[in-house]
Amino acid sequence: VGMLYGLKRLGYTNMVGVDISAEQVELARRIWPNVVLEDARDFLQNHTDSFDLITAFDFLEHFRKEEIFSILDAFYVALRPGGRLILSTPNAEIPLPTDCWWDFTHEVYFTSNSLKQVLQVAGFENVQILPAEPVPHGVFSAIRWVLWQGFKALIYFYNLVETSRPGTGVFTRGMIATCVKPYKEGAGV
């Protein structure tokens, strides 16, 4: 709902939301009428080369490991060549991965490396895994950002002491992946 609202405020008009929850669809339709009650995998597989952008926030972790590639394949099929996938998921490599375990419906967890691996195996290119860090936009958020920089330095130091490597730099509870469906033929799962 938040994503649809934000995109609507930015002036986007050609978008569709998909959810399997009737309650979420009803809520989202208050913001944007074009929201479909359907399994995302089925919806995407029926819309080949249809989208320039697909977002999936807090989505992948709700599927079993053996289902991940069929979902990534559905994203791939539904994107136009050159289309972008942006997704977020809890980060299993943080020192205290509490967000992974707080929801009983979570089935699989990723580190930044494992998420990058599955996206590349699924045929996506230009894969980037980014931390979901605080963004300074006011006094309170600027203080959070400064404090986060200190915590991040401590995590780097901890990793160096334990493993002699600083780690990936993705130390936030959640991480964001962005990748692109290539223009070339034959890529994908």
- The predicted pLDDT at position 186 comes to 55
Distance CA 131, CA 88 (A): 10
- Residue 115 CA to residue 176 CA, distance in Å, equals 10
> What's the DSSP call for residue 110?
B
What is the reported pLDDT for 4?
78
Q: What are phi and psi of 175, to 5 degrees?
A: -135, 155
Report yes or no: 74 and 44 within 8 Å, Cβ to Cβ.
Answer: yes
Q: Residue ranges of the chain with pLDDT lower than 50?
A: none
* 40/17 Cα distance (integer angstroms): 9
CA distance 148 to 151: 5
Residue 129 parent element (H or E): strand 125-131
pTM: 0.85
Please tell me the distance from the alpha carbon of residue 65 to that of residue 63, in angstroms, as a whole number: 6
Alpha-carbon distance of 96 to 161, in angstroms, equals 17
Residue 188: the pLDDT is: 52
pLDDT score recorded for residue 71: 95
